[in-house]
Structure 1
C-alpha cells in the first residue's frame, strides 16, 4: 500500500464514520458523492487535454469545490434538516476528488470507478443501517427528509421500544463496529492452512 492510497482510504474513512449514524445521512452523502464524482469526471475529461500541467491542480480545486458547493446548496434547498445532519462531511467530497484525480482514478477504466463508488456506497449504507438499528432501535427514521417533506408524518420503523445501545451512533461506536465487521470479513474469507 503506497502513501497515496493510504491518504485516499483515510479520507474516505472520515465520512464513513462521521455520517453513518443513520441510514438517511449515509445514503444522502453517498448520493452526493456519486453525483459530484460523476460530474467532476465528465468535466475533467473535457478540460484535461486543454490544460497545461501548471494549471491542472488549480483547475481541479476550482472545479471540485464548485461542484461540491452546488451539491450542498441543492441539498440545503431540498431539505434543511438533511443538510444539517450531513454537516461539514459533504465538503470533504471536494478534497476526495482532488486526491482521486492526483492518484489517476479518473483515467482508470469505468468499471473500476463504478466498483469503488459502489463499494463505498454499500459500506456506507450498510454501516448506516447497522448503526441506526443498534444505536436507536429504528430503521429508516427521518426518511422523509430525503423526500423534501417539511412536516414528516412517518418516523421510520421502531424495532426496539427502549431505544438501543447509544454508543453505536457515536464515532467510537462506529469505529468499533467497523473493526468488528473487518474482523468478521477476514475470518470469513480466511482459507484454512493446508496440512503439512
Structure 2
C-alpha cells in the first residue's frame, strides 16, 4: 500500500463535515489544532525513539488528542459536536499523513502552508456548499457526493487560474 493513500483518506472529514460555513470553520479549526499539537508534541520524540516506538507513541498521542477534542466539543458546543458526528476523530488520519509525508528539512514551513490550505479549503467548501444548498436550491451540494463534485470543480478552477505550465510529472504521456 502506498503511503499517499493517507492523503485520500484524510479528505473524509473535509467532505463530510463542511455542509455549512460554520461546520467548515469548526472542522478546519479542529484540524489546525489537532495536527499542530500532534506535530509539536512529537517533535522532541522524533530523533529519540526507534521507528516502532515512535509509531506507537504517535498513535497513543493521536488517540488522546482525538478523545480530548471530542470531549471538548461535547462539553462546550454540543449542537456542533452532534452535527459533526465522528468526523473530528477522523482527523487522526491527517495527522498520520502529515507525520509520514512531511520532510525533515523545512517541516514547519510546509506544515504551516498545509494547515492554511486545509483551513481555507474548509471555509471555501463550507461556504459554497451552504450557498448552493440554501440559495441556489441544489440539495446535492449538502450531501457528501455533492461535496466531492464541488471539490473537483474548485480544484479545476484553481488549476485553470494558476499561471504557468504544468509540472512535467503531471502532464500526460502520449
TM-score of Structure 1 vs Structure 2, range by shorter chain: 0.7 to 0.9
TM-score of the pair, normalised by structure 1? 0.76
Aligned-pair CA distance for 1:99: 2.9
Q: 30, 39, 42: which one pairs with 1:41?
A: 39
1:190 deviates by 6.2
Q: CA deviation at 1:46?
A: 2.2
Q: How does 1:119-130 map to 2 (within 5 A)?
A: 119-130=117-128
Higher relative contact order (CA 8 A, sep 6+): 2
Give the distance between the partners of 1:127 and 1:24, measured in 2 at CA.
11
- In our comparison, the structure showing a higher alpha carbon Rg is 1
TM-score (norm 2): 0.84
Q: Give the number of equivalent residue pairs.
A: 165
1:57 matched residue in structure 2: 55
- Kindly indicate whether the alpha-carbon contact (under 8 Å) linking 1:100 and 1:106 is maintained by their aligned counterparts in 2: no
**Aligned 8 A contact 1:21 1:128 in 2:** yes
> Please, what is the CA RMSD of the aligned residues?
2.2
Q: What is the distance in 2 between the residues matched to 1:76 and 1:105? A: 35
The aligned counterpart of 2:162 is 189
**Residues 54/187 of structure 1: CA separation in 2 closer, same or farther (3 Å cut):** closer
In 1, the alpha carbon distance for the partners of 2:152 and 2:56 equals: 37
Structural mapping, 1:41-190, within 5 Å = 41-104=39-102, 108-137=106-135, 164-189=137-162
The gaps in structure 1 that reach 5 residues or longer are 138-162
2:86 is paired with a residue whose SS is helix
Aligned with 1:3: secondary structure?
Answer: coil
Shift in CA distance, 46/28, structure 1 to aligned 2, threshold 3 Å: same
> Following the alignment from structure 1 to structure 2, what is the Cα–Cα distance between the partners of residues 181 and 86?
23
Q: Deviations over 1:51-105 (max 9, x none)?
A: 2333111111000110111011101101111001111111111222123222245
Task: Tell me, in whole angstroms, the C-alpha distance in 1 between the residues paired with 2:52 and 2:31.
Answer: 27
The Cα of 1:125 is off from its aligned counterpart by 0.5
SS of the counterpart of 1:168?
helix
